Amino acid sequence: MSSKAVALVSAFIALGALNQVAAQNCACGFVDSNNNVWRESIVSIFTQNAGALAAVNADWRIASDSGVSVSNTGFIGTRQYISQNIFQWNNALGIKTSAYTGDNVIRTGEIDTLREDILYGTFRMVAQVPSVPGVVFGFFTYINDSQEQDIEFLSSDPTYYQTVHYTNQPGNVNGNADPQATKDVNITGADFTFFKEHRIDWLSTQTMYYFNQTLQTTITKNVPTTPSLVILNVWSNGDPFFSQGPPTQDAIATIQNVHLYFNSTSFSEAAFNTACVDAGRPAQCPI
Ligand SMILES: *[C@@H]1O[C@H](CO)[C@@H](O)[C@H](O)[C@H]1NC(C)=O
Ligand SMILES: *[C@@H]1O[C@H](CO)[C@@H](O)[C@H](O)[C@H]1NC(C)=O
Ligand SMILES: *[C@@H]1O[C@H](CO)[C@@H](O)[C@H](O)[C@H]1NC(C)=O
Ligand SMILES: *[C@@H]1O[C@H](CO)[C@@H](O)[C@H](O)[C@H]1NC(C)=O
């Protein structure tokens, strides 16, 4: 390599380092494609060299319980979240429901943000849906069953690779689907078995659901108003009308990354404004 080339490479490295510093200094927050400003972020890159589980352990809790009865669905037995169902998979993060062994236990997987104080934000994951029938793959905000916004993929849907269920819970009224709160969307031409971005924008008056940077639907009913956590899971309870299953083979969702940009009840607007001034008012980071 000539000395000129070395100098050029060094310049590029220096520029790269500078860019990185600039990218990291988001003390004045993040601005999204709709000009919404968010004060905080959690970025989980499951493809990083340190491994997917290192990114999980930094910001998420791996669900684990001793099992709950799901016999009301007709499946005689329990559904149990186990930590082994969160794992390094294909250079990314795997979340699975295990192949059913016939022992009356459906073994499922889930990660929850450690933060439970998230109030409004834009939440994005790049993922591949499971293709083994009999599970639900969920990406959602949650604090209780009536403060919840869901993206759900049902691997038993005939066109599971392009059908998505968007719901602001409760999605039912008197036992019937509420068309204002839950929308089943077929996206012609989409293939969710490829890595693509799925996104929930939680605003105070509406929830906007996106696929591949394109708005699919807006729901204004049942918009949550309470600080929440963000969850990813793959589960089944044998319900013949929803998850179906349990799956006869491991049903695995593969997640490359999750980007959460949000406001919280722990970091006030006043504290944020002070932090921004103290940092010398760097430009907002575009997301
Ligand atoms: C969910 O949380 C909201 C806000 O705290 C509360 O008003 C509501 O009663 C809760 N609902 C359930 C089903 O627990
Ligand atoms: C989506 O496509 C499936 C399969 O063609 C069909 O059964 C279902 O009714 C469609 N749903 C909507 C909401 O269009
Ligand atoms: C995703 O968006 C890109 C850019 O707009 C577009 O070229 C591509 O066709 C889209 N893919 C799908 C599967 O919708
Ligand atoms: C989030 O915080 C920013 C900066 O404090 C504020 O401008 C914005 O209105 C907040 N968004 C929501 C939906 O409350």
State residue 24's pLDDT score: 55
Q: pTM here?
A: 0.91
Burial (CB count <10 Å: 0-12, 13-18, 19+), residue 280: exposed
Please give the pLDDT value at position 285: 97
Using a 6 Å CB cutoff, which residues line ligand 3?
A: 189-190, 212
Query: Token pair for residue 179?
Result: 């068309």
Q: Distance between CA atoms of 93 and 154, rounded to whole angstroms?
A: 19
Ligand 2, atom 14, residue with closest C-alpha: 186
Distance from the alpha carbon of residue 37 to the mean position of ligand 4, in angstroms: 6
Identify the pLDDT of residue 18.
40
Ligand nearest, relative to CA of residue 184: 2
Domains of the chain as residue ranges with CATH: 46-266 (2.60.120.200)
Give the max Cα distance, the chain. Answer: 75
Residue closest by Cα to atom 10 of ligand 3: 212
- Say yes or no: CB of residue 204 within 6 Å of ligand 4: yes
pLDDT value, residue 6? 39
* Euclidean distance between CA atoms 283 and 149, whole angstroms: 31
DSSP string, the chain: --HHHHHHHHHHHHHHHHHHHHHH--TT-EE-TT--EESEEEEEETTSTT-HHHHHHHHEEE---S-EE-GGGT--SEEEE-GGGEEEETTEEEEEEPPP-SSSEEEEEEEEES---EEEEEEEEEEE---SSS-EEEEEEEEETTEEEEEEEETTSTTTTTEEEEEEE--EETTEE-TTTEEEEE-TT--TTS-EEEEEEE-SS-EEEEETTEEEEEE-TT---S-BEEEEEEE----TTTT----SS-EEEEEEEEEEEEEESSS-HHHHHHHHHHTT-PPPEE-
How far apart, in whole angstroms, are the C-alpha atoms of residue 162 and residue 258? 20
List, in sequence order, every residue forming a beta bridge with 42; answer none if it has no partner. 260
Work out which ligand 4 atom sits closest to the CA atom of 263. 1
Dihedral sign (CA 268, 273, 276, 282): positive
User: Which ligand is the nearest neighbour of the Cα of 192?
Assistant: 3
Q: What is the mean pLDDT for each group of 10 consecutive residues in the chain (287 residues)? A: 40 40 75 97 98 98 98 95 98 98 98 98 98 98 97 98 98 95 97 98 98 98 98 98 97 98 98 97 96
Other C-beta atoms lying within 10 Å of the C-beta of residue 183: 18
DSSP string computed for 38-97: ESEEEEEETTSTT-HHHHHHHHEEE---S-EE-GGGT--SEEEE-GGGEEEETTEEEEEE
Closest CA to 130 of 85, 69, 184, 71: 85
Closest Cα to atom 3, ligand 2: which residue? 159
Q: Whose Cα sits closest to atom 1 in ligand 3? A: 212
Residue 224 near ligand 1, beta carbon < 6 Å: no
- Residue 14 CA to residue 12 CA, distance in Å, equals 5
Phi and psi based region of residue 73 (left: phi greater than 0; alpha: psi -120 to 50; beta: remaining) = alpha
Structure tokens at 144: 């209780």
| Of 38, 208, 223, best ligand 4 pocket probe by most atoms within 8 Å of the beta carbon | 38
Distance 278 CA to ligand 3 centre (A): 40
Q: Does ligand 4 lie within 6 Å of residue 205's CB atom?
A: no
Ligand 1 pocket member 145 (CB < 6 A): yes
